[in-house]
Structure 1
Amino acid sequence: MNTVPIHQQEVICALATPSGVGAIGVIRVSGLGAIALVNSVFKGKNLEKAESHTVHFGTINAGEEIIDEVLATVFKTPRSFTKEDSVEISCHGSDYIIRQILKLLITKGARIARPGEFTQRAFLNGQFDLVQAEAVADLIAADSQASHKTALNQLRGGFSKKLASLRTELIHFASMIELELDFGEEDVEFAQRDDLRRLIEALLATIQPLISSFDFGNAIKEGVPVAIIGSPNVGKSTLLNALLNEEKAIVTAIAGTTRDVIEDTIVLDGLKFRFIDTAGIRETTDVVESIGIERSKAAMDKADIVIFLFDGAATLAENKALAALLPGKKDLVFVLNKTDINPSLASELAGDALDIIPISAHTQQNLSALTGKLVSLVHGQAAGDTVVTNLRHYEHLVKTSASLTDVLNGLALGVTGDFLAQDIRLALHHLGEITGTIVTDDLLDNIFSKFCIGK
């Protein structure tokens, strides 16, 4: 008997390309009877008799009226993205044409797909696990080489393989301890405690780098926030403009010109950086400037990297005082500006213990040294090939680590097998929630609702 839920058998359709006028639009159709449904409005080759992965020229007709000349690409189960019968209709990119074709498909029995429903069906039909399904959205949203590489690695199962290996080893010991519980009155040990301890330690040694990689992974995905901090008139806005190669911020000789946080992004060596130009930090009675200064301090707190820009000994001292207030985990970069005006500044400050990068934001002299430093700081955070970029994955890895630590503590205290089994089951549960081995409808709805409708 077919146990597939009715809503998963329905034929769904949606525009898979961006809306708006373009050369072509691609309409995706999938579900039980999708090929027959499209064939009923397609004039050309009989699509039901066509081989999978073949493309056919014809027209989409509403009765005797031709809506458009199209290419219909046939994918037959299970050799499609959703593992269902699917057709992709490539038509001209007119909004009117696309609306008419979708309307015609709906009159024939299809319905408009929900956000992410094609990918959700692919997951439910075993095309890939939940980590890989989420990587589809990340791959679509990738806007730098690093984010593309990370998403592609997850889509191809890099992260999933690590988790599957961890889970398989843990399941073996869990089954042994569960077996002990069945023979509780006979006082037997099927799971050797020393072997279990070594396994848990090995699992924690694998999980911890994944947890630690989240800050780096999140920076890759969202962009590394870099705050440009300094006293008024040291050239922060000029530096931002030089980095972006455009006049983003207003530059004048008047101190306090920048009164709010100005932000923009740039890709350096495949990594996306979010540069934040801030108001110069000083004592002021100007209400608007004061608000800007408070926002500058907030940006400094949130940034992963803080560039302290100065133009002499006095402004360097001010920056050192600000840096002393920041948490130790931040990467701090001290940059001496205006070397074009006073070339001797760098040699005058050479005795300072700080690693100072001398530049001229105005002439862009030595700017490559600064950008190279920023890239090296980010690459220095990388812990390995597998990087965690998803907050949901990070949270469950932290919970898995906590449960495994409880197992180790239980072994040290000599607790009974039933308590060990409970903590191991919790660890298995959290690993299963990441990959979708253990999943709820609410979780799936929450994940896939964030996808675009045609994906």
Structure 2
Amino acid sequence: MNTIYALASARGKAGVAVLRLSGPGSHAAVAGLCGPLPEPRRASLRRLVKDGVELDQALVILFPEGESFTGEAAAELHLHGSLAVVQAVMQALAGEHGLRLAEPGEFTRRALENGKLDLAQVEGLADLIEAETEAQRRQALRVLSGAIGRRAEEWREKLIRAAALIEATIDFADEDVPVDVAPEVLALGHAVLADLRREALGGRAAERIRDGFEVAIIGAPNAGKSTLLNALAGREAAITSEIAGTTRDVIEVRMDIRGLAVTLLDTAGLRETEDQVERIGIDRALSRARMADLRVFLISDEALPGIEPEDGDILIRGKADLGGGGVSGKTGQGIAELIEEIGTRLLERSASAGVITRERHRLAIERAIEAMESAMSEVEKGTARAELAAAELRIALRALEALVGRVDVENLLDEIFSSFCIGK
């Protein structure tokens, strides 16, 4: 296997630049630059020299095989973070036999292949790198720590026990089996089913934390939606005017509200119209508003065609600067309170989040639930259906193994690792 290297810190000038190496030749490559190697896992200051020319003074850290992020022998060079220093050391390594520049995500891919991470942890690491809010950070860290793998292993152990009991029934079908295994199998199966159903329900909320919630601001034309959006965003994101129907398309603004990623949607004013272009904007507004996680209705004396508030939506009067209570994007009245209310309602919805965070996870859980429901049904019908029950349990087990990447994931790997930077 080749030894790979790459810059692991951000490109550009910095106080420190970290260069990583992983593979069987990593320690020898470092020795070629600094001479005698330091003790493993102890940072040591060394002069890096190539062909008699000093490249830099750097901290050198070695990791033995089995004790590194990738599971391979690895090393890190903590360099002075100038472009010239990094380029000089990279060129020195490029000239070494058996070394090559790492591909995007290759360090993490080797960690997966060497059993240091499961696939769900790899996805958690990708989410952690992309995290923009506190909720995303906490959720990604939970997945990276192996929460999904631990839960899947708990379920797997119970299903293996249930399958073993059923297989024993099949093996001794022609003999008198002294113990009826059905009660234990059903107890194990229903316990796993209950857990899987809870995770499937919580998966929707976890996906929203990861991808972000959408909050649509809707109301009649000239109700103050665009002015409110600008006030919430703290910038002129939408064009405002006194002319009704100014907003024709959906305008999106990304925000962090109480640690949650939230996209605010400014939509076209809802009214009956003969204007073809405005009608298209209204149709888009209705479509996005219906799909949004939360809707803020700027209520007025005019009825809104095509949509009604749902439980949990926020109803508030707009243009409060013209008199009465409510919210005003022009003066700022009620803005802080509205942001607080949006955050409270979205936090309530995110409280049910489970450990699964992606559609792939949810689909695997749903496949396992379907197989488990069939298996339990077959067990309840008696020993004559034992082989069918065993087959359904095997399908459920395979779904859980796919959840953490033990099977059926080769077609996903290139897509997943393409999102990583080269040094990761």
- TM-score normalised over the length of structure 2: 0.92
Alpha carbons 2:93, 2:99 under 8 Å: kept: yes
Which amino acid is the alignment partner of residue 422 of structure 2?
A: I
Query: What is the Cα deviation at residue 143 of structure 1?
Result: 0.7
Query: What is the Cα deviation at residue 370 of structure 1?
Result: 1.9
| C-alpha distance in 2 between matches for 1:332 and 1:204 | 32
Aligned residue for 1:323?
307
- Structure 2 spans left out of the alignment, 5+ residues: none
Pair 1:301–1:181, CA change in 2 (3 A): same
Structure 2 residue 377 is the aligned partner of structure 1 residue 409: yes
Aligned CA-pair RMSD:
2.3
Per mean C-alpha deviation after superposition, the further-off stretch among 216-225 and 380-389 is 380-389
Aligned residue for 2:331?
363
| C-alpha distance in 1 between matches for 2:180 and 2:336 | 58
Alpha carbons 2:104, 2:421 under 8 Å: kept: yes
Aligned residue for 1:26?
18
1:80 to 59, 68, 76: 68
Alpha carbons 2:158, 2:189 under 8 Å: kept: no
Pair 1:51–1:189, CA change in 2 (3 A): farther
Structure 2 residue 247 is the aligned partner of structure 1 residue 258: yes
| C-alpha distance in 2 between matches for 1:290 and 1:124 | 53
1:442 to 387, 411, 422: 411
- Structure 1 spans left out of the alignment, 5+ residues: 1-8, 347-357
Query: What is the Cα deviation at residue 425 of structure 1?
Result: 0.4
| C-alpha distance in 2 between matches for 1:290 and 1:82 | 56
Pair 1:33–1:191, CA change in 2 (3 A): farther
Per mean C-alpha deviation after superposition, the further-off stretch among 444-453 and 394-403 is 444-453
| C-alpha distance in 2 between matches for 1:191 and 1:135 | 43
Pair 1:190–1:367, CA change in 2 (3 A): farther
1:243 to 205, 227, 232: 232
Query: What is the Cα deviation at residue 36 of structure 1?
Result: 1.1
Structure 2 residue 390 is the aligned partner of structure 1 residue 398: no
- TM-score normalised over the length of structure 1: 0.86
Q: Deviations over 1:392-418 (max 9, x none)?
A: 111100100111011122123335211
Per mean C-alpha deviation after superposition, the further-off stretch among 63-72 and 148-157 is 63-72
Which amino acid is the alignment partner of residue 407 of structure 1?
A: A
1:64 to 52, 68, 81: 52
Q: Deviations over 1:100-120 (max 9, x none)?
A: 422322321211222222112
Q: Report the count of equivalent residues.
A: 422
| C-alpha distance in 2 between matches for 1:408 and 1:380 | 34
Residue 25 of structure 1 aligns to a residue in which SS? strand
Pair 1:222–1:66, CA change in 2 (3 A): same
Which amino acid is the alignment partner of residue 15 of structure 2?
A: A
| C-alpha distance in 2 between matches for 1:165 and 1:261 | 45
Aligned residue for 1:113?
102
Alpha carbons 2:206, 2:353 under 8 Å: kept: no
| C-alpha distance in 1 between matches for 2:110 and 2:180 | 39
Identity %: 35
Aligned residue for 2:172?
183
Q: Deviations over 1:92-135 (max 9, x none)?
A: 33445434422322321211222222112222222232222221
| C-alpha distance in 2 between matches for 1:277 and 1:385 | 27
Pair 1:70–1:381, CA change in 2 (3 A): same
Aligned residue for 1:200?
189
1:423 to 392, 401, 408: 392
Structure 2 residue 325 is the aligned partner of structure 1 residue 336: no
| C-alpha distance in 1 between matches for 2:409 and 2:238 | 48
Query: What is the Cα deviation at residue 161 of structure 1?
Result: 1.9
| C-alpha distance in 1 between matches for 2:263 and 2:213 | 6
Alpha carbons 2:218, 2:289 under 8 Å: kept: yes
Q: Deviations over 1:409-452 (max 9, x none)?
A: 21233352111110000000011111233355434344333322
